[in-house]
């Protein structure tokens, strides 16, 4: 069992027989009355979000997630095709199951899939990915004195703010958790 005191962003819990991933949580201790936890939960199967309030110390069944290494192959309409590297079985995930990770998926990328009770529920991207800049305005001389940034579109369609000295065609490293530029690759 897991208590509301142990909730963190990204943790998966079971509420009323359905699996939910914690998107946001806030422990509230009012001046009068008992403490409570306000959460925003995302249904793992449907992708719907809901807000729910729990009493402090309330317990839930612990959900065990299994990770399996897979390779992203390609996109077909709104589905994404992955291959198990050990059995060569192919599986399909929808945009809802992948979430924000879509903007970092690159063909042939190795990722971790998350399974619960034998059912595939989503993916776990690497913390850092190397992507090529395909479109960014040119840097102008004299604009680098304050270390500003400009938007850059990457090969996967993601848009990241990069320093002025980054040009089209360069490979950069991006933090997938914060959608931020780290350095040149």
pLDDT, tens digit (0-9, with 9 covering 90-100), for 62-107: 787 788 889 999 988 888 898 988 889 898 888 877 777 888 888 8
Q: Cα(23)–Cα(146) distance, rounded to whole angstroms?
A: 35
In the chain, the percentage of residues whose pLDDT exceeds 70 is: 96
Query: Do 103 and 119 fall within a single domain?
Result: yes
In the chain, the percentage of residues whose pLDDT exceeds 90 is: 13
Sole residue written with tokens 């931020």? 180
Query: Do 14 and 33 fall within a single domain?
Result: yes
- Among 124, 140, 160, residue at a domain's last position: 124
Query: Bridge partners of 81?
Result: 74, 92
Computed over every residue of the chain, the mean pLDDT equals: 84
| pLDDT for position 160 | 92
| pLDDT for position 146 | 64
Grade residue 141 by pLDDT with cuts at 50, 70 and 90.
low
The runs of H, that is alpha helices, within 7-48 are none
Domain coverage including residue 175: 128-184
Query: Do 50 and 86 fall within a single domain?
Result: no
- Residue bearing the bigger pLDDT, 44 or 137: 137
Sole residue written with tokens 């993601």? 158
Predicted TM-score of the model (pTM): 0.65
- Residue bearing the bigger pLDDT, 53 or 44: 53
pLDDT, tens digit (0-9, with 9 covering 90-100), for 151-172: 999 998 889 999 888 889 999 9
Query: Do 142 and 166 fall within a single domain?
Result: yes
Please check the confidence at residue 23 and state whether its pLDDT lies above 70: yes
Residue 46: which CATH number?
Answer: 2.30.30.30
Query: Do 146 and 113 fall within a single domain?
Result: no
- Total residues found in the chain within this entry: 185
Query: Do 119 and 71 fall within a single domain?
Result: yes
Please check the confidence at residue 9 and state whether its pLDDT lies above 90: no
| pLDDT for position 57 | 85
Grade residue 145 by pLDDT with cuts at 50, 70 and 90.
low
Q: Cα(135)–Cα(114) distance, rounded to whole angstroms?
A: 33
Residue 174: which CATH number?
Answer: 2.40.50.140
Number of domains in the chain: 3
Instruction: Say which residues have a Cβ less than 8 Å from residue 146's Cβ, sequence separation at least 6.
Output: none
């Amino acid at each position: 069992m897991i208590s509301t005191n142990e909730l963190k962003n990204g943790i998966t819990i079971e509420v009323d027989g359905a699996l939910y991933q914690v998107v946001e949580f806030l422990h509230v201790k009012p001046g009068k009355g008992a403490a409570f936890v306000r959460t925003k939960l995302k249904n793992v199967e449907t992708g719907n979000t809901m807000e729910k309030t729990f009493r402090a110390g309330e317990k839930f069944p612990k959900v065990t997630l299994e990770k399996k290494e897979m390779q992203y192959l390609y996109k077909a309409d709104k589905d994404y095709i992955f291959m198990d590297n050990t059995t060569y079985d192919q599986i399909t995930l929808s945009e809802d199951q992948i979430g924000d990770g879509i903007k970092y998926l690159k063909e042939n990328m190795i990722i971790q899939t998350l399974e619960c009770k034998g059912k595939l529920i989503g993916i776990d991207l690497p913390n850092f990915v190397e992507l090529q800049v395909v479109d960014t305005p040119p840097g102008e001389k004299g604009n680098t004195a304050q270390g500003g940034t400009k938007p850059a579109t990457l090969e996967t369609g993601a848009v990241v703010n990069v320093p002025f000295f980054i040009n089209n065609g360069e490979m950069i490293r991006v933090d997938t958790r914060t959608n931020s530029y780290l350095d040149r690759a």
